[in-house]
Amino acid sequence: LVTTFERPAALERSLPQIARLGAAVLVVDHAEREAAARRNQATALACGVAYLRLPVNRGLSAALNVGLEYLLADAAITWV
C-alpha cells in the first residue's frame, strides 16, 4: 500500500522500485491538485499497479484506511 499526496516526483522515483519486488501494490492518491493526480495515475499505470484516487483529501489516516479496506476485500490478497 502506497499513499501519495502532492509529490508526484517522489512517486515517480520510488514506485518503479517497489513494483519490481513483485508483490501486489495499490497506490491510494489523496492529491488535491488535478495535475498531480494525473501524474500519479500515469506512474501507477506505467508500473502496472492498481491506482485509487480519493475524491477529497481527508488526510493520511483516511488514505491508509481506504487502502487497507480495499486490499482486505480481495480474497486473492493473503497478506497485508
- pLDDT tens sequence across 23-77: 889 999 998 899 999 999 999 999 999 999 999 999 999 999 999 999 989 888 7
Name the E strands within 6-79: 26-29, 50-53
Looking at the DSSP assignment, which residues form a beta bridge with residue 28? 3, 52
pTM of the full structure: 0.90
Give the integer Cα–Cα distance in Å for 49 and 51: 6
With pLDDT > 70 as the criterion, what percentage of the chain qualifies? 99
With pLDDT > 90 as the criterion, what percentage of the chain qualifies? 81
Give the integer Cα–Cα distance in Å for 38 and 29: 10
Name the E strands within the chain: 2-4, 26-29, 50-53
Looking at the DSSP assignment, which residues form a beta bridge with residue 4? 29
Provide the total of helices (H) and of strands (E) in the chain, helices listed first: 3, 3
